[in-house]
Amino acid sequence: MQLGLIGLGKMGGNMAERLRRAGHEVIGYDHHADKRDVDSLPALVKALEAPRVVWVMVPAGEPTRATVRELRELLDAGDVVVDGGNSKFTDDQVHAQMLGEKGIGYLDVGVSGGVWGLENGYALMVGGAKEDVAKVQPVFDALKPPAPVDESGQALPGAGFVHAGPVGAGHFSKMVHNGIEYAMMQAYGEGYELLDAVPLIEDVPGVIASWTQGTVIRSWLLDLLVRALQEDPELEQISGWADDSGEGRWTVEQAIEHAVPMPAIAASLFARFVSRQEDSPTMKAVAALRNQFGGHAVRAVQAAEVEHPA
């Protein structure tokens, strides 16, 4: 199958390579000249045979919106645009309507697999019409992980791919996936900190590595934590600053809107905000209050820090 792919970064570039290994023809476009096969979006569309499938792998938000708007003017009825980035599901409905006015199909695909997807495959959560999914199915089949098998050697259905529902369902599913990921990462991080704080535990990396086999908390994320600790046992080469992609926020927003309790995911999101504060204003206020009502000791800011704040 022939595919146009826009965005050849870490994810997009590896996806293109995996598809080519599976025998598909990928024509790629990227802002970086050394990565692309064509020099512009019009050239990309011209190089594809109708009906065309164009997969967008650029940053969510305005970069994706601008790309979809440009593709609307370049593509024809029967073509399909796939947004494989981390767009908010509400953007998908706008894009689908805009493209649908010209008879262009639209799919939103939540993609998980990170830099390991080239070898392991990508989990794909797809939103859109069945007829558009069918047009892109050969690409999905090449990108997803190999299907696990049962004891008789028969492939088990569903692993690594789902047509989750209409437009928006793919990115909504990926949003919830990332919210869960936040909470899992936070739990592993807190467990690591407690182990590291207790002198009784002499081999923290070894304890965490022991959890990767036979326990109910084993996971790929845990495997990655073990890998990180093998490379840097005390995590001395990395700061405790953690960004958020936006999907954790959107997950909590949807939980509020639908009255779904999500204390673990919400707490993990707020913990990331805490990680960016060198000196928490909240805790300054708490310390001041304890001093006011109980005379509890407070730690004064060092004079040097006052005179020369970082």
Structure tokens given for 176: 């919830």
The half-sphere exposure of 151 on its side-chain side, counting CA atoms within 13 A, is 0
Report d(CA 274, CA 297) in Å as an integer: 23
pLDDT at 278 over 50: yes
CATH classification of the domain holding 36: 3.40.50.720
Helix (H, G, I), strand (E, B) or coil at 258: coil
Quick one: 151 and 185 in the same domain? no
Q: Average of pLDDT values for 212-230?
A: 94
- With helix as H, strand as E and coil as C, how does 127-195 read? ECCHHHHHHHHHHHHHHCCCCCECCCCCECCCCCEEEEECCCHHHHHHHHHHHHHHHHHHHHHHHHHHH
Specify whether 181 is catalytic: yes
Residues in the chain: 310
pLDDT tens figures, 231-256? 999 888 888 878 877 889 999 999 99
CATH classification of the domain holding 193: 1.10.1040.10
Range of the domain at 304: 277-310
Report d(CA 310, CA 172) in Å as an integer: 40
What's residue 157's pLDDT? 67
Quick one: 41 and 146 in the same domain? yes
Q: Average of pLDDT values for 118-137?
A: 97
**Could you give the residue ranges of the DSSP H alpha helices within the chain?**
10-21, 41-47, 62-74, 89-100, 117-120, 130-143, 169-197, 204-210, 220-231, 247-257, 263-275, 281-294, 303-307
Helix (H, G, I), strand (E, B) or coil at 81: strand
Domains: count for the chain: 3
Query: How far is the CA of 56 from the CAs of 81, 84, 139, in angstroms?
Result: 7, 6, 13
Q: Enter the DSSP assignment of 116.
A: G
Quick one: 41 and 68 in the same domain? yes
Quick one: 242 and 254 in the same domain? yes
Quick one: 16 and 139 in the same domain? yes
What's residue 305's pLDDT? 46
Quick one: 182 and 92 in the same domain? no
Quick one: 257 and 310 in the same domain? no
Looking at 166, 201, 219, the residue that finishes a domain is 166
Specify whether 130 is catalytic: no
Quick one: 185 and 246 in the same domain? yes
Looking at 120, 147, 166, the residue that finishes a domain is 166
Quick one: 156 and 260 in the same domain? no
Quick one: 54 and 69 in the same domain? yes
Residue 157 burial (10 A CB sphere; 0-12, 13-18, 19+)? exposed
What's residue 168's pLDDT? 98
Looking at 140, 166, 192, the residue that finishes a domain is 166
What's residue 301's pLDDT? 63
Quick one: 191 and 150 in the same domain? no
Quick one: 120 and 130 in the same domain? yes
Catalytic residue among 88, 135, 144, 181: 181
Catalytic residue among 135, 144, 174, 247: 174
Report d(CA 47, CA 177) in Å as an integer: 35
pLDDT tens figures, 8-66? 999 999 999 999 999 999 999 999 999 999 999 999 999 999 999 999 999 999 999 99
